[in-house]
């Protein structure tokens, strides 16, 4: 299995950094949904700068912030202290989560699980299954094979995984790409609540490109 790497947050600045400080659109839906289900233990799996940890912390969830990068955890902690929030912090690799079996109600794993290879993705899914309580839910995003980047001639790691060779925080970081059938196979032990294929349009140099992601909401039934 390929070595886990994480993001280099030190090279993320300006407008790009601001994006990672604002909660994602779907996080408000999940907040509302999980409050309605009286969920309490929230795991921000690959928390980055902490935008979702802060959102859920402010809304009285018991938040577990987890990331492989010390600087991500430090930044999340700094932000939480400014907001007078008491959260739980852990540095580690998503391949092996430091939480008890059936201890977590809900998990946000946005733009994270794709940072390993096929074997790694299977391990993380097993870990998510292990730590979720019965009826626990998890939101994940996956890079789609329909994305422009999947057509790039970057070094292959396995049939679904490439190293992203683009300057920035993910340089050399493995990226796993999925399609519908692969996701169905990977999540056969879960109930699929919702699956969307979302396109983001942007300029890459002079070229207009589209990145697609799967947004997946699952339940441990």
Ligand X SMILES: C[S@@+](CC[C@H](N)C(=O)[O-])C[C@H]1O[C@@H](n2cnc3c(N)ncnc32)[C@H](O)[C@@H]1O
Residues engaged in binding ligand X (CB under 6 A) = 4, 6-7, 20, 46-48, 51, 67-69, 72, 93-94, 110-112, 115-116
Min separation Cβ 206 and ligand X, Å: 25
Measured distance CA(131)–CA(16) in Å, rounded: 32
Choice between 98 and 221, CB closer to ligand X: 98
Min separation Cβ 8 and ligand X, Å: 8
Choice between 116 and 144, CB closer to ligand X: 116
**Which residue lies nearest ligand X, judged by its C-beta?**
48
Choice between 68 and 217, CB closer to ligand X: 68
Measured distance CA(171)–CA(155) in Å, rounded: 12
Strand, helix or coil at 21?
coil
Measured distance CA(166)–CA(45) in Å, rounded: 24
Measured distance CA(189)–CA(218) in Å, rounded: 10
Min separation Cβ 47 and ligand X, Å: 6
Contact 107, 138 (CB under 8 A): yes
Choice between 23 and 40, CB closer to ligand X: 23
Min separation Cβ 151 and ligand X, Å: 21
Min separation Cβ 192 and ligand X, Å: 21
Taking the CA atoms of residue 125, residue 59, residue 62 and residue 121 in that order, the dihedral angle to the nearest 10 degrees is 10
Measured distance CA(142)–CA(215) in Å, rounded: 7
Choice between 124 and 182, CB closer to ligand X: 124
Q: How far apart are the first and last CA of the chain?
A: 29
Choice between 47 and 131, CB closer to ligand X: 47
Min separation Cβ 107 and ligand X, Å: 11
In DSSP notation, 151-199 reads GS-PPEEETTEEE--SSSTTTT-EEEEE-HHHHHHHTTTSEEEEEEEEE
Strand, helix or coil at 131?
helix
């Amino acid at each position: 299995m390929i070595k886990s790497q994480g993001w280099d947050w030190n090279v993320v600045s300006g407008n790009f950094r601001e994006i990672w400080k604002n909660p994602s659109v779907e996080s408000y839906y999940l907040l509302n949904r999980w409050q309605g289900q009286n969920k309490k233990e929230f795991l921000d799996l690959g928390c980055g700068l902490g935008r979702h940890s802060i959102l859920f912390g402010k809304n009285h969830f018991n938040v577990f912030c987890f990331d492989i990068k010390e600087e991500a955890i430090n930044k999340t902690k700094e932000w939480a202290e400014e907001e007078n929030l008491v959260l739980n912090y852990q540095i580690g690799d998503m391949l092996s989560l430091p939480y008890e079996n059936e201890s977590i109600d809900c998990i946000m794993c946005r733009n994270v699980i794709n940072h390993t290879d096929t074997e790694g993705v299977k391990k993380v899914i097993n870990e998510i299954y292990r730590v979720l309580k019965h009826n626990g839910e998890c939101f994940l995003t996956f890079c789609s094979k329909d994305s422009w980047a999947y057509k790039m001639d970057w070094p292959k790691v396995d049939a679904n995984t490439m190293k992203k060779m683009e300057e920035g925080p993910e340089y050399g970081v493995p990226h796993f790409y999925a399609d519908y059938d692969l996701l169905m196979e990977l999540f056969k032990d879960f109930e699929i609540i919702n699956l969307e294929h979302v396109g983001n349009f942007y300029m890459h140099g002079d070229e207009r490109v589209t990145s697609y992601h799967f947004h997946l909401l699952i339940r441990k039934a």
